[in-house]
Structure 1
């Protein structure tokens, strides 16, 4: 594992453990529409290092472990960081827009950043496959996992599943998609089919945005 991916995982673990044991710290740093509209913009960053519970933290960090190094290996340290934090901010902005009228809406999680890394990794390595301890006898294509994660996010947005930032997943995917094209435009000619496959859900999201909206 690259040092930068390890550092981000450790930072998420330490920040989340603090949040698990300190409700005041958790409430002060979580993503909340009303507080952000009142000028507490730092929450858009700090909320990405908090998690609802150990299971939520473990899932995000294992996913980052599987996909992160693939992005670092091709794009390098600084471009990986741009995609990670850019997707985190993109996810926050999307959530802010989607829930703009719900001042009490709150969420936490690195999911927006992780979703951006997933998208970047699949665009760069379209043939990648994941081997999970739960499925030891076969591998899951990376793009199946990524699209499945995105569909779950849409379901979570519509049904308000947990205190997880499902809308941030979608914003993170958009951020990861756009930033990868910007930072490594050759991917468009090298892996055209996968770029199109991953771009379709984003396009449909914009087309059916009003139907997706709770309002």
Structure 2
């Protein structure tokens, strides 16, 4: 019960902060992720942007995903580690975005997606055989979803043909992946195939970045 209260408090903070942003554009602009402002010294946006959302649908989707997967991670690790993964994923997602978009001074983004993706990937590593339901109807093993989603994120980062923050999602996944393996190193031997499979897109991304292919 106490764990659920902490989770609901986190969701409540996202809802309240986002709702304020919906109603107050100056508030939204002050705390969104904005490359130019961050590079001029407003690093607080690296965290506050994760509590803002573009619209109610964006907020609802992230909070439903968070509630669904957070309970899996909390039941295994406890509340403190859950929060550490959440905020590490938020920050790493924004750091990766800052790196890939460092020369785009007008680049803007909002959303808890990076943090939520980190929680999802922690849950996938811990329970790779659980089902994730695409479009709430099509069951797919979580580890297969995890691999395909990261590959799709690389495509989205390269194509740049939508308004989805693929880079933040990928950075969050990296944080969830690394943090979970660091906490449960026996996963490397017990679930070698899963660990390697989910690591392939991460290695591929950095190879592509090194070769300036993305």
* Same topology, TM > 0.5: yes
- Does the 8 Å contact 1:119/1:198 carry over to 2? no
User: Unaligned stretches of 5+ in structure 2?
Assistant: none
User: Unaligned stretches of 5+ in structure 1?
Assistant: none
Q: Paired residue for 1:190?
A: 190
1:189-211 deviations in Å (ceiling 9; x for gaps): 22222111111111111111245
- Does the 8 Å contact 1:107/1:165 carry over to 2? yes
- Does the 8 Å contact 1:124/1:191 carry over to 2? no
Number of residue pairs matched? 210
- Does the 8 Å contact 2:21/2:27 carry over to 1? yes
> Does 2:8 align with 1:2?
no
Q: Paired residue for 2:170?
A: 170
1:40-72 deviations in Å (ceiling 9; x for gaps): 001000000111111111111111122111111
Assess, with a 3 A threshold, how the Cα gap between structure 1 residues 91 and 13 changes in structure 2: closer, same or farther.
same
Q: Secondary structure at the match of 2:168?
A: helix
What is the TM-score of this pair, normalised by structure 2? Answer: 0.90
1-structure distance, mates of 2:54, 2:151? 20
What is the aligned-residue RMSD (CA, Å)?
1.9
- Does the 8 Å contact 2:50/2:90 carry over to 1? yes
- Does the 8 Å contact 1:154/1:166 carry over to 2? yes
2:90 to 88, 91, 99: 88
2-structure distance, mates of 1:196, 1:144? 12
In the TM superposition, what is the alpha-carbon distance from 1:171 to its structure 2 partner?
A: 0.8
> Does 2:129 align with 1:161?
no
Assess, with a 3 A threshold, how the Cα gap between structure 1 residues 180 and 12 changes in structure 2: closer, same or farther.
same
2-structure distance, mates of 1:46, 1:186? 35
Assess, with a 3 A threshold, how the Cα gap between structure 1 residues 27 and 2 changes in structure 2: closer, same or farther.
same
1:148-175 deviations in Å (ceiling 9; x for gaps): 443443343332522x432111111111
Q: Paired residue for 1:36?
A: 38
1-structure distance, mates of 2:125, 2:102? 31
- The more displaced of 186-195 and 101-110 is 186-195
- Does the 8 Å contact 1:128/1:141 carry over to 2? yes
- Does the 8 Å contact 1:31/1:44 carry over to 2? yes
1:16-36 deviations in Å (ceiling 9; x for gaps): 111111111110010011100
Q: Paired residue for 1:128?
A: 130
Q: Secondary structure at the match of 2:21?
A: helix
- Does the 8 Å contact 2:154/2:205 carry over to 1? no
- Does the 8 Å contact 1:66/1:130 carry over to 2? no
2:55 to 53, 56, 60: 53
Q: Secondary structure at the match of 1:140?
A: strand
Q: Paired residue for 2:115?
A: 113
Q: Paired residue for 2:25?
A: 23
